[in-house]
Structure 1
Amino acid sequence: MLPGNIPMPPTFNTIEEERKYLKHKLTGAFRIFGKFGFSEGVAGHITVRDPELKDHFWVNPFGVSFNQIVSDHLLLVNHKGEVVEGNLPVNRAAFAIHSQIHEARPDVIAAAHSHSVYGKAFSALGQELAPITQDACAFYKDHALFNDYTGVVNELDEGKRIAEALSDYKAAILQNHGLITVGHSIDEAVWWFVTMERSCQAQLLAMQTGQKLIEIDHEIAMKTRQELGFPLAGYFQFQPMWQDICASQKF
């Protein structure tokens, strides 16, 4: 359990103040993805639901480096795929996937996806993460496997099927594709992505030894998830990364 005096998510007096905060936080989230090497050409996107227009979300433009994104680059997109604010092109896959997740999950404020190396390597196994480490337990019985890859996601139908597979979970492994995570804040969604990517890496490394993987007992894994895998824990664990990126970069 977290101590009672930890910093809590901020509150806002106006919609404009909240929107400015979210766009700044989203910009920093892309810088963090860039820092961790999660970019792969033009692939990858993080979205955040607009605080006023609930069927609109902010997203990175197509073809702009994670390391170069500033707040003015961000696009406001509605669930029809129309760019309501911004002058750059939108990634069709970002719209197809994220619009369906945001529509299906009113509780989701942010969603994150990229073609990170260990996530896409693990996705080729066609299996869920095993509870072999404390960190992996955050996803125990709380992530899905979407095993219906049909190529680049350009159609809403596949985005809808991904959203259906995600269900009420915090994350999904998209077989032969990569990872996607969601959260009640940008902080939470990005933290789940980072720690899921590292959990994939840890399991792949353990599998390379050829030894049998020792899984954590079901009851202990569930208890550990309850301690590490709830929304405020995700929000709080993101804060050191946020502190580092704010200290090292201007955005």
Structure 2
Amino acid sequence: MSTTTTTSIHQTLVPTWEGNPPSDAVDQPFQALARGDRNGVLKLRGIPSFKDPYAKRQWIREHMAAAFRFFGKQGYGEGVSGHISVRDPILPHHFWMNPFAMHFSLIKASDMVLVDSSGYVVEGGNQAMINEAGFMIHSEVHRARPDAVAVAHAHSIHGKTWSGFGKPIEMLTQDACNLYGKVGVHAEHGGIALAQEEGRAIANALGKTNTAAILQNHGSITLGQTVDEAAFLFYSLEQACQSQLLAEAAAANGVVKKIIPHDVAQFTADSVQTPNNFYLEFQPDFDLIVAESGGKVLQ
């Protein structure tokens, strides 16, 4: 399989792109989202792959840092709550997490902490503490879902408010279809997750195929094959929860909601629910955060 090489913003990394260009005939919905030239030379490029696993590790940490800065800009932080984890590409059963009690908007790539399967900090990353509840949640989700490379969780205001109803979101908007058929509900809040049982219950709510779950009286959680996907889906779910709350307020005053019918929602979902698309959806914000930080987020 031939590859096309491009230079990363971070000059030490040279990612190659999947496919020729990516996903030639295996990701047609992704290619259908944009139009290039008549000869089909201009194509969308999705998730990069790496020949060097250490370059991939650095790329993961950079994109994690950007995801946290994005969460900070959106106001998803609340004290020490909220965490993102990503599987390490080199060490089996290890993953990267954010340091405990560091504001999302300050996080850089070098701040990421590497932990083992028992949640203990190991060499190779920042020597800092992590959130215990975060490990209990993320470790169980990673264990139950080997397809989930990244897991994102925060106590965003609209997500946690809607979670108080213990109900899934409705397909009120086209954007909500990013999550059609992919949102579970963890309907029994067990308090702060300082035991594995709560993490397992959250993993069960995600099931085998969901990319998101609403955690009753708690917040939201999303999964992705990249941290970019997990971050974008978290944002998409938060936006859907805000729309839902607004719609419920209007409906309480007699305004009838119009739900997108199944066939239309499924068609939209089939068009957008690909890892390449959700990775790409985050790239405008990634580029903006790199520019706004003067590249410091990559350090």
2:141 aligned residue (83, 98, 101): 101
For the residues of structure 2 that align with 1:193 and 1:51, how far apart are their CA atoms? 23
Identity level (%):
41
1:183 maps onto 2:211 in alignment:
no
The equivalent residue for 2:30 is 2
Q: What's the CA shift for 1:59? A: 0.3
The alignment partner of 2:127 has SS state of coil
Residue type of the alignment partner of 2:258: I
CA deviation map 1:167-189 (0-9, x unaligned):
12000000100100000011111
Give yes or no for contact 1:129–1:139 (8 Å, CA) kept in 2.
no
The equivalent residue for 1:205 is 246
Q: What is the number of residues matched between the two proteins?
A: 251
1:56 aligned residue (90, 94, 101): 94
CA deviation map 1:101-147 (0-9, x unaligned):
11111111101000001000110111101011101112121110001
Q: Which has the larger radius of gyration?
A: 2
For the residues of structure 2 that align with 1:48 and 1:18, how far apart are their CA atoms? 12
Q: Mapping of 1:149-164 within 5 angstroms? A: 149-164=189-204
Q: What's the CA shift for 1:246? A: 1.2
The equivalent residue for 1:136 is 176
Residue type of the alignment partner of 1:55: H
CA deviation map 1:215-249 (0-9, x unaligned):
11111111111112222221111111111111111
For the residues of structure 1 that align with 2:277 and 2:108, how far apart are their CA atoms? 27
Residue type of the alignment partner of 1:51: P
1:244 aligned residue (288, 295, 299): 288
CA deviation map 1:15-62 (0-9, x unaligned):
111111111111111111101111011100011100011311100011
Residue type of the alignment partner of 2:142: H
Instruction: List alignment gaps of at least 5 residues for structure 1.
Output: none
Residue type of the alignment partner of 2:115: V
The equivalent residue for 2:35 is none
The ranges of structure 1 where at least 4 consecutive aligned residues each deviate by more than 4 angstroms after the TM superposition are none
CA deviation map 1:186-227 (0-9, x unaligned):
111111001110111111111111322211111111111111
**Coordinate RMSD, CA, aligned:** 1.2
1:24 aligned residue (31, 49, 62): 62
TM-score by length of 1: 0.97
Give yes or no for contact 2:99–2:129 (8 Å, CA) kept in 1.
yes
TM-score by length of 2: 0.81
The equivalent residue for 1:217 is 261
Residue type of the alignment partner of 2:83: H
Instruction: List alignment gaps of at least 5 residues for structure 2.
Output: 1-28, 32-41
The alignment partner of 1:126 has SS state of coil
For the residues of structure 1 that align with 2:242 and 2:45, how far apart are their CA atoms? 30
The equivalent residue for 1:68 is 106
